[in-house]
A and B are shown apart, each in its own frame.
Chain A
Amino acid sequence: MAHVVPIQMARVNQTEAYTQTFDFQSPHEDNALHLIEQMQWFNQRIDDVFSRLLGEANWQQIKDRYGLGALRDELLRKDIYVRGFFNFSTYLDPVSPEFFMAEGMGRFFLVRRKNQAILLSGDFYILPDRHSTKDLDRGYVILDIALILSRIPGEVTYLHETSLKYKIYFDNSLKNESVYRLDYQRQHEVHLPLSGVEELGAKTRIGGMQLDAKPDLAEQFKLLDYRGTQFIRSDYEKMLRQSRQRRLEE
Chain B
Amino acid sequence: MGESGVICPKCQQDNPESNTFCGKCGALLLGERRRNIMPVADAAGEIHQLAETTLQSVKKEAHFIEISTLDEIHDKAIKWAKVQLFFLGSAVSILLMALFIWGYKQFSDFERLILDSQNEITALSGQLNENATQVSQDSTRVSEQADTFGQTIQQEFQRLKQLSQRINEIDNTIHTEIQKLRSELLASLHEARNLQEQAKSDRYEIEKIQNSFYEIFFQIDGDHPLDDTRQTALFALLTQNGFLVKDRNIVSRVSVDRPEVIYYNAEAGEKARLLTNLLRKNFPGMTLRHLDHKDRDAREILIKLRN
Q: From A43, A51, A64, A65, give the contact of B251 (CB < 8 A).
A: A43
Which of the segments B14-22, B116-124, B188-196, B253-261 contacts the partner chain?
Answer: B253-261
A127 CB to nearest chain B CB (Å)? 28
Q: Which residues in window 56-104 of A have CB below 8 A to B?
A: 56-57, 59-60, 63-69, 72
Contact B222 A68 (CB under 8 A): no
Q: Which residues in window 10-66 of A have CB below 8 A to B?
A: 36, 39-40, 43-44, 47, 51, 56-57, 59-60, 63-66
Q: From A60, A68, A72, give the contact of B257 (CB < 8 A).
A: A60
Give complex CA distance A44, B262 in Å.
21
Contact A64 B262 (CB under 8 A): yes
Contact A69 B254 (CB under 8 A): no
Contact B248 A69 (CB under 8 A): yes
How many residues from A make CB contacts under 8 Å with B? Answer: 21
B249 interface residue, CB < 8 Å from A? yes
Q: Which residue of B lies closest to A51 (CB)?
A: B255
A83 CB to nearest chain B CB (Å)? 19
A195 interface residue, CB < 8 Å from B? no
Give every chain B residue within 8 A of A44 (Cβ-Cβ): 222, 253-254
A176 interface residue, CB < 8 Å from B? no
Give every chain A residue within 8 A of B248 (Cβ-Cβ): 36, 39, 69
Q: Which residue of B lies closest to A39 (CB)?
A: B248
Contact A43 B254 (CB under 8 A): yes
B34 interface residue, CB < 8 Å from A? no
Contact A56 B253 (CB under 8 A): no
Task: Using A43-B252, A44-B222, A51-B255 as known contacts, say yes or no to A64 and B247 having CB atoms under 8 A apart.
Answer: no
Give every chain A residue within 8 A of B243 (Cβ-Cβ): none
Give every chain B residue within 8 A of A63 (Cβ-Cβ): 219, 254
Contact A47 B255 (CB under 8 A): yes
Give complex CA distance A36, B250 in Å.
9
A220 interface residue, CB < 8 Å from B? no
Task: Using A64-B262, A68-B219, A69-B248 as known contacts, say yes or no to A40 and B302 having CB atoms under 8 A apart.
Answer: no
Contact B255 A67 (CB under 8 A): no
Contact B249 A69 (CB under 8 A): yes
Give every chain A residue within 8 A of B227 (Cβ-Cβ): none
Contact A43 B293 (CB under 8 A): no
Q: From B217, B253, B296, B300, give the contact of A40 (CB < 8 A).
A: B253
Task: Tally the A-B contacts, defined by beta carbons under 8 Å.
Answer: 51
B270 interface residue, CB < 8 Å from A? no
Give every chain A residue within 8 A of B262 (Cβ-Cβ): 64
A117 interface residue, CB < 8 Å from B? yes
A115 interface residue, CB < 8 Å from B? yes
Give complex CA distance A115, B293 in Å.
13
Q: Which residues in window 212-237 of B have CB below 8 A to A?
A: 217, 219, 222
Contact B291 A65 (CB under 8 A): yes
Q: From A60, A69, A115, A117, give the contact of B217 (CB < 8 A).
A: A69
Task: Using A36-B247, A44-B222 as known contacts, say yes or no to A67 and B302 having CB atoms under 8 A apart.
Answer: yes
Contact B300 A43 (CB under 8 A): no
Give complex CA distance A96, B199 in Å.
88
Q: Which residue of B lies closest to A36 (CB)?
A: B247
B275 CB to nearest chain A CB (Å)? 15
Q: Which residue of A lies closest to B222 (CB)?
A: A44
B267 interface residue, CB < 8 Å from A? no
Give complex CA distance A56, B302 in Å.
18
Task: Using A36-B247, A39-B248, A67-B300 as known contacts, say yes or no to A115 and B295 having CB atoms under 8 A apart.
Answer: yes
Give every chain B residue within 8 A of A117 (Cβ-Cβ): 295
Give complex CA distance A35, B248 in Å.
9
Q: Which residue of B lies closest to A59 (CB)?
A: B255
Q: Which residue of A lies closest to B219 (CB)?
A: A68
A37 CB to nearest chain B CB (Å)? 10
Give every chain A residue within 8 A of B252 (Cβ-Cβ): 40, 43
Q: Which residue of B lies closest to A44 (CB)?
A: B253
Give every chain B residue within 8 A of A69 (Cβ-Cβ): 217, 248-249, 251
B201 CB to nearest chain A CB (Å)? 34
Beyond A68-B254, A69-B251, 6 additional contacts (C-beta under 8 Å) are A36-B247, A36-B248, A57-B257, A64-B262, A66-B293, A69-B249
**What are 27 pairs between A and B in contact, CB < 8 Å?**
A36-B248, A40-B252, A43-B251, A43-B253, A47-B222, A47-B254, A47-B255, A56-B255, A56-B257, A60-B256, A60-B257, A63-B219, A64-B262, A64-B289, A64-B291, A64-B302, A64-B304, A65-B291, A66-B293, A67-B217, A67-B300, A68-B219, A68-B251, A68-B254, A69-B249, A72-B251, A115-B295
Give the 3 A-B residue pairs with the shortest CB-CB distance, closest first. A47-B254, A68-B251, A43-B251
Residues of A near any B CB (own CB < 8 A): 36, 39-40, 43-44, 47, 51, 56-57, 59-60, 63-69, 72, 115, 117
